[in-house]
Chains A and B, each alone.
Chain A
Amino acid sequence: MNIFELTILLAMGSFVAGLLGALTGLGGGVVLVPLLTIFFKVDIRYAIGASLVSVIATSSGAAAAYVKEGFSNIRIGMFLEIATTIGALCGAFLATIISTKALSIIFGLVLVYSAYLSRKPRPPDQRNMPPDRLATRLKMNGSFPSEEGIRHYNVQSVPTGFSLMFGAGALSGLLGIGSGAVKVLAMDQAMKIPFKVSTTTSNFMIGVTAAASAGVYLGRGYIDPGLAMPVMLGVLGGSLLGVRILLKAETKVLRIVFSIVILTLGAQMLYKGVTGNI
């Protein structure tokens, strides 16, 4: 297989990953690294580098739309980005010293956990929470347009959310993923921010988090232009199409299928890491 053929295959695979990631809301980044390492036999460090840049592309592309619609809360995002960027820096430095086997095992665990999270029924939004002192001081409480009109919300447990965000940033820097699942967990479950606001604010933060580790990756030579090019263009194209058809598509079955794919890839990453075949 020559470079031209490989580029076309990579672009098609990434397009599908981006499309499914956008349609299911699980993000395409999480399947890119296993796709590249398992099927294309790419070294995991090149795979992480290529995945990271495509995460910036999809996040910024989608965030542009959400910010204008008034769902994402810029203040919550900005404050929590302090935690995610510091975490991302730590994660990126860690990635350059730990073994590729360990990277593969951690990746496998994250995939299995993401598959579990995506199947777990989500408890309904807790409404009318009392204002929290710290959140009020930080001016985080906000409102967003919902079906029943403008809905206000009061943010809770800022320290817990902040700590979880550090973890999300570290995983993002370590594995070259957006770690949107952990970000949403921190905002939706810990801080009691409405789901729609959590997901869009998370998306908004992913690009900045990834940019914090991109400098480290570029400097260490993890970002290969020949590999990152089809991956970035493919994922971007796929996710833009996904966002566009999202409103019409029935995604329930798709979510089940995609979470099985994620689970399978996670098991394979674990197996490869444990057997040292990476």
Chain B
Amino acid sequence: MAKAGWTDQQIENVIGNLLRTGVGLSAAVVFAGAIVYLIRHGTSLPDYRVFHGEPADFRSLPGIIHSAFTGHGRGIIQLGLVLLVATPVARVAFSIWGFAEEHDHMYTVFTLIVLVILLYSLLGSGWAF
């Protein structure tokens, strides 16, 4: 273990803060989007009985970002949800660094495998593009 190396406890503390920040940030963004959405569409009629699938704007990252930054409530909500999904991914990415700092090669590789699976799911399903 390196002299300036991190202990498990320190890494756990950072992970705890990372998770809390991610969830808090995402909830705040979703809430902000909710206000815009409800002011604009609160009196419209909902339709969730029949499955249409979401429009491309809410299915791909560029679509979501564009929709959010042009002030659409549902786009802002969806951006908040993307931040939420990104939170555990960021946790895994940070863990790779943490295990590498501890010189735990076996767990660095295990964590890398998990990150690859997550990125495959997020990028491979086409929504990020």
Known A214-B85, A232-B84: A60·B23 in contact at CB below 8 Å: yes
- In the complex, are the beta carbons of B38 and A7 less than 8 A apart? yes
Interface membership of chain B positions 54-80, coded 1 if the CB is closer than 8 angstroms to chain A and 0 otherwise: 110011100000000000011101100
14 more A-B residue pairs beyond the given contacts A4-B38, A56-B85, A216-B121, with a C-beta to C-beta distance below 8 A: A57-B23, A65-B16, A67-B12, A78-B107, A92-B121, A208-B92, A214-B122, A215-B85, A218-B59, A218-B82, A224-B48, A232-B30, A232-B84, A233-B34
Chain A residues with CB below 8 A from B22, complex form: 60
Q: How far is the CA of A218 from the CA of B75 in the complex (A)?
A: 13
- In the complex, are the beta carbons of A40 and B58 less than 8 A apart? no
B interface secondary structure, majority: helix
Q: How far is the CA of A228 from the CA of B16 in the complex (A)?
A: 25
- In the complex, are the beta carbons of B84 and A53 less than 8 A apart? yes
Q: How far is the CA of A82 from the CA of B49 in the complex (A)?
A: 36
Q: How far is the CA of A53 from the CA of B126 in the complex (A)?
A: 19
The interface centre, meaning the residue of B20, B44, B81 with most chain A CB atoms within 10 A of its CB, is: B81
Please report B residues at the A interface, Cβ cutoff 8 Å.
8-9, 11-13, 15-17, 19-20, 22-23, 26-27, 30-31, 33-34, 37-38, 41-46, 48-55, 58-60, 73-75, 77-78, 81-82, 84-85, 87-89, 91-92, 95, 104, 106-107, 110-111, 113-114, 117-118, 120-128
How far does the Cβ of B54 sit from chain A's closest Cβ, in whole Å?
4
State which residues 1-55 of A face B: CB under 8 Å: 1-4, 6-7, 40-43, 45-46, 53
How far does the Cβ of A60 sit from chain B's closest Cβ, in whole Å?
4
Q: How far is the CA of A88 from the CA of B118 in the complex (A)?
A: 10
- In the complex, are the beta carbons of A57 and B27 less than 8 A apart? yes
How far does the Cβ of A232 sit from chain B's closest Cβ, in whole Å?
6
Known A57-B27, A67-B19, A221-B59: A211·B89 in contact at CB below 8 Å: yes
State which residues 201-255 of A face B: CB under 8 Å: 207-208, 210-216, 218-230, 232-233, 236
